[in-house]
Structure 1
């Protein structure tokens, strides 16, 4: 079936990126499978992360179907677009329907995008991963595709105002080699392996990032362990509970 909505949306996003004069540093796009199913697994630090994850798969001419909370699909603006792009709504109180939907898509050769932290990390460090992505990859017999983003939190994230001005913000993206999801391993073991790889990719992106803090007022987006003023993981956990 023809993709009537997804490609134009990508075009709009690219136009927006150009207008914002974002500075992209993308590595590893050659690891995106050119055919067949895969579960793309990324850290989650900003509201636009799904857009940037999708951008990383475009050199391989692949589209990503993201699993997203159901409320996004009920919104009068985003809902029609999300449905037309064939993303997958997740009802957190009854997630089996979304799981089966994603499994069918994987077996038909789609790339499914998952943020296994489930919510945005307000500390900008990796939270614990849910095991759903690993279970999907194991049951569908497809690889996990690890990915890390850095800098996207500076545009729009939880607890901070949007900054969509022309500030030349660098965006770093790292895509790792596909990882086998051995069905003989426990889903928890596979999850820890892919989390470890995402952590390595995240640290690589952070080391290469060309911007450092200019002082306390400009360090909110930098994790505490790197000298910034973002909440610590423990403080972020309290914010999440609130």
Structure 2
């Protein structure tokens, strides 16, 4: 029994109710009822985790997310991370988090990973980091691609924050497991080939969902390709690269001040 996780589940159900989210779950049978797996989730907003986690809960499982280690600096977040099996990630020293994640997978946990690393401002699938594939291969578990669409209308980057009972429709699709048993983790080419397969699969899942979803022209949460005012893929990359450089500089300055 995990009382803290159970409390968070109740809060998540309450948040879904307060927002009035109408969630359409698809492919839930791809979530294994036992054993470990990496759930590779697209990242479009701050609420992605909620509908994805509730879908896993409906399957009788719990998902452990990987989260930025900076959250450990906040007392309440440190408590929650410690008591829910969440894996904190220090991007400047990720080996320990990697080993912890692999151990969780070997112990039969479902691990939620955002392989794009940060929110996609274009709302398209960015280039993926290799961690999800490497961890799954090391643990001997599959990767399950997951698409969440619509939750970004609640809260994401670019000034989009529409909290309240808005009854936004949300679609969550759990794709067929991708076998990574043929990946040679010592071979960059082998890993990158599987990462490319994962990205192609996620793109192929996302686009039909986007096409069926109602997208009013000009809205900031609508992708440019669908007539929205969100940044294009290229424009978003420039913004995201600048953000990454700024954060890296801030982390370096923090480490330097700690040595002083």
Aligned to 1:131: 130
Q: Partners of 2:31 and 2:155 in 1: how far apart?
A: 26
Q: Partners of 1:240 and 1:76 in 2: how far apart?
A: 28
* Deviation larger for 112-121 or 79-88: 79-88
CA contact under 8 A between 2:62 and 2:110: conserved in structure 1? yes
Q: How many residues align?
A: 237
Higher helix proportion: 2
Could you list the per-position Cα deviations for residues 48-73 of structure 1 after superposition, in whole angstroms to 9, with x for gaps in the alignment? 21222211211221111111111123
Aligned to 2:234: 234
Show the 5 A alignment for 1:4-153. Answer: 4-153=3-152
Q: Partners of 1:198 and 1:56 in 2: how far apart?
A: 18
Aligned to 2:199: 195
Shift of 1:33: 0.2
Q: Which has the larger radius of gyration?
A: 2
Q: Partners of 2:127 and 2:209 in 1: how far apart?
A: 20
TM-score, normalization by structure 1: 0.93
Show the 5 A alignment for 1:190-229. Answer: 190-209=194-213, 211-213=214-216, 215-216=217-218, 219-229=219-229
CA RMSD of aligned residues (A): 1.4
Aligned residue for 1:57, secondary structure, equals helix
* Deviation larger for 232-241 or 113-122: 232-241
What 5-or-longer segments of structure 2 have no aligned partner? 185-189, 243-260
Aligned residue for 1:230, secondary structure, equals coil
TM-score, normalization by structure 2: 0.87
Q: Partners of 1:29 and 1:74 in 2: how far apart?
A: 35
* Deviation larger for 118-127 or 194-203: 194-203
Shift of 1:177: 1.2
What 5-or-longer segments of structure 1 have no aligned partner? none
Q: Partners of 2:35 and 2:131 in 1: how far apart?
A: 19
Q: Partners of 2:203 and 2:55 in 1: how far apart?
A: 18
